[in-house]
Chain A
Amino acid sequence: MFSVRLHGRGGQGIVTTAELLAVAVFDEDAYAQAFPTFGSERTGAPVAAYCRIDERPIRSHEPITSPDALIVADPSLFAQVDVLAGLRSDGYLVINASDAAALSGAPAALSGAPTQVCLVPATEIARRHIGRPVPGAPLLGAFAAVTGRVGLAALVRAIEERFPSKVAEANAAAAREAYQMIRATWTEPTHA
């Protein structure tokens, strides 16, 4: 079982992003379960969504408390929400940020931990391709590049299935750019 928690703000498309990941995993013949946190969502308010990935059928319906990976669509959430809660110490952290300065609100616990941090300028990429600050597709591209838990081709198919053709094309291009950008520079940290 590999579990992912996604953090964002209402309006960023976080629930849809979790669903796209689940559909892409399904497309690769594995099992997935995506679900949102259930509440009264408002634009701009913190939102979380989840995705479980497994080779076997997933029966559990309890919340994910110790995720293997986090996808953070807005680094300003570090100052507002306990984003890192339960993240496995060697887990993956994919953050929508162009440089480390955006992490000023992040807990000190981040530095020095074996957490595998990946920064991807997902909003910039989304603005360029989609014309709107919806970072989901490029975040998934970066997630695919660092974790290898889903392939880019499956992500693109999930995007095409979900959106009308023009929107799908733009989102797929954004996912591809993020994937290639991270793939070119990503090296697995070596653990002592």
Chain B
Amino acid sequence: MLSQIEGSRAVAEAVAACRPQVVPAYPISPQTHIVEALAEMVASGRLAPCRFVTVESEFGAMSLAIGASATGSRAYTATSSQGLLFMVEALYNASGLGLPIVMTVANRAIGAPINIWNDHSDSMSQRDSGWIQLYAYDNQHAADLHILAFRLAEELSLPVMVCMDGFVLTHAVERVDVPEPSQVDSYLPAYTPRQVLSPARPYSIGAMVGPEAFTEVKFLAQHRMQSALKEIPPLSAELGAILGRNVPGLVQPYRLNGARTVVVTLGSTFGTLADTVDELWADGHAVGAVGLVAYRPFPVDALRAALAEAEHVVVLERAFSLGAGGIVAADLAPAAAANARVYTAIAGLGGRPVTGAALRGMILAAAADRLAPMTFLDLDTDLVARDLAHVEAVRHSGPTAENVLRHVRDRSTSGSPR
């Protein structure tokens, strides 16, 4: 039903339409509204049969989801930031055991310094956890991706993480055509597990594997993960036909025809980027955009096709690897044309807005080959310089976060320019 609805509520409706049987959850902003809505639906009997379990931690949430999934139930949970980190050990077990759990990650920065706002450092930190990762670019896409996620997870017997920008999407009230349960029923059959713990047919799950076969088990895991790249296009086409709209599952290209400079990004920044691309074309600049939907597995062939004509490729990332640089850019390099220049722009950390004006400047700089290989978009260089000078001058320089906040206050009272 077409609704003006909060992103979290739209996702909860889509998840409910997938008829999860067990939802263990622990609250953390900005994910909380999703599981609150599901809790209401279970309590009112609208979502039945379903057990909503309030657990003592995120580690408990994922552990309970593992137990539920291994005994044949469709299991779902949601988390963010530190909550995701707290379930890490169980995340690897869920994927290693091949359990098709679906989880929403409402993306939020990781501390320290503590920060409740949006970036991708939480889910990016779990890129090697063996979970499929899909990134939503708006709330319609987020709702639809959850339906794709359950089907994909159960087809492959692998867990799927649907990542959506915390607050920016979860708390935005926008127009969403919320999928009808009847539409979902025609797409997502009842869960028939590949493995199930049952007294009727007893066997164990979770054997210890030594050097004689560990590599082979991991090879098979990689094989299964990579097979998602073949599974996703037909599954998203089938879902798109039922819902009457596109549900991109690998990449979302935008105005690539003739584009010499292309920006690749993940998540809600894609919308702002698409507007900027339109403005730049109107001004005579040949620029395009690619929304990366599947990040794990990495759709290298789809990207290679999308980027075939691009001479300048900017990877706009909402997280980075300290001590190395762009995370997505490193994965993407083999997909860029041989003569293309690839740039990393780290943007929107800890909730800093990614503005159309900043994107425009970045794109024009890349098109003119004036963009550094790695940049921090909208970096406040004055603040950085103030702290570098302070650390240089004083041995007992104190905690960085507190110092930088003090520089912000000092600057605003002294009235000196940014």
- A and B associate: yes
Give the interface of A toward B (CB within 8 A).
18-19, 22-23, 25-27, 31-36, 38-40, 57-63, 65
User: Is B172 within 8 A of A61, CB to CB?
Assistant: yes
B295 sits at the interface (CB 8 A): no
Give chain A residues whose Cβ lies under 8 Å from the Cβ of B270: 59
**Bound state CA distance, A57 and B4, in angstroms?**
12
User: Is A34 within 8 A of B275, CB to CB?
Assistant: no
Contact partner, A38, options B30, B268, B274, Cβ 8 Å: B30
Contact partner, B175, options A26, A39, A60, A63, Cβ 8 Å: A26
Give chain B residues whose Cβ lies under 8 Å from the Cβ of A36: 171
**Bound state CA distance, A58 and B169, in angstroms?**
13
B167 sits at the interface (CB 8 A): yes
Contact partner, B173, options A23, A59, A60, Cβ 8 Å: A23
**Bound state CA distance, A25 and B275, in angstroms?**
22
Give chain B residues whose Cβ lies under 8 Å from the Cβ of A23: 4, 173
**Bound state CA distance, A38 and B108, in angstroms?**
12
User: Is A22 within 8 A of B4, CB to CB?
Assistant: yes
B174 sits at the interface (CB 8 A): yes
B116 sits at the interface (CB 8 A): yes
User: Is B167 within 8 A of A38, CB to CB?
Assistant: yes
- Chain B 340-355, CB-CB to A under 8 Å as 1, else 0, gives 0000000000010111
B334 sits at the interface (CB 8 A): no
B138 and chain A: residue at smallest CB distance: A59
Closest beta carbon of chain A to B401's beta carbon, Å = 17
**Bound state CA distance, A58 and B4, in angstroms?**
13
26 contacts between A and B (CB under 8 A): A18-B173, A19-B6, A23-B4, A23-B173, A32-B173, A32-B174, A32-B175, A33-B172, A33-B173, A34-B172, A34-B173, A35-B168, A36-B171, A38-B117, A38-B171, A40-B116, A59-B138, A59-B271, A59-B275, A60-B271, A60-B272, A60-B275, A61-B169, A62-B272, A62-B353, A63-B353
Give the interface of B toward A (CB within 8 A).
4, 6, 30, 116-118, 138, 165, 167-169, 171-175, 268-272, 274-275, 351, 353-356
**Bound state CA distance, A78 and B274, in angstroms?**
36
Closest beta carbon of chain A to B345's beta carbon, Å = 15
User: Is A62 within 8 A of B274, CB to CB?
Assistant: no
Q: Which 9 A-B pairs have the closest CB atoms?
A: A59-B271, A26-B4, A38-B167, A34-B173, A61-B268, A35-B172, A23-B4, A60-B272, A19-B173
**Bound state CA distance, A157 and B406, in angstroms?**
48
Give chain A residues whose Cβ lies under 8 Å from the Cβ of B116: 38-40
Name, among B6, B117, B172, B351, the residue most crowded by chain A CB atoms within 10 Å (CB to CB): B172
**Bound state CA distance, A19 and B168, in angstroms?**
14
Given A25-B4, A26-B4; 17 other pairs, CB 8 A cutoff: A19-B6, A31-B175, A33-B172, A35-B168, A35-B173, A38-B171, A40-B116, A58-B271, A59-B138, A59-B271, A59-B274, A61-B138, A61-B165, A61-B271, A62-B353, A62-B355, A63-B353
Give chain A residues whose Cβ lies under 8 Å from the Cβ of B351: 38
Closest beta carbon of chain A to B356's beta carbon, Å = 6
Give chain B residues whose Cβ lies under 8 Å from the Cβ of A63: 353, 355
**Bound state CA distance, A34 and B5, in angstroms?**
10
Closest beta carbon of chain B to A41's beta carbon, Å = 11
User: Is A58 within 8 A of B117, CB to CB?
Assistant: no
B267 and chain A: residue at smallest CB distance: A61
Name, among A34, A35, A58, the residue most crowded by chain B CB atoms within 10 Å (CB to CB): A35
**Bound state CA distance, A91 and B257, in angstroms?**
39
Give chain B residues whose Cβ lies under 8 Å from the Cβ of A34: 172-174
A50 and chain B: residue at smallest CB distance: B172
**Bound state CA distance, A38 and B30, in angstroms?**
9
User: Is A61 within 8 A of B168, CB to CB?
Assistant: yes
Give chain B residues whose Cβ lies under 8 Å from the Cβ of A18: 173
B273 and chain A: residue at smallest CB distance: A59
Give chain B residues whose Cβ lies under 8 Å from the Cβ of A40: 116
Give chain B residues whose Cβ lies under 8 Å from the Cβ of A33: 172-174
B270 and chain A: residue at smallest CB distance: A59
**Bound state CA distance, A65 and B268, in angstroms?**
18
Closest beta carbon of chain B to A158's beta carbon, Å = 8
Closest beta carbon of chain B to A33's beta carbon, Å = 5
**Bound state CA distance, A21 and B355, in angstroms?**
24
Give chain A residues whose Cβ lies under 8 Å from the Cβ of B138: 59, 61
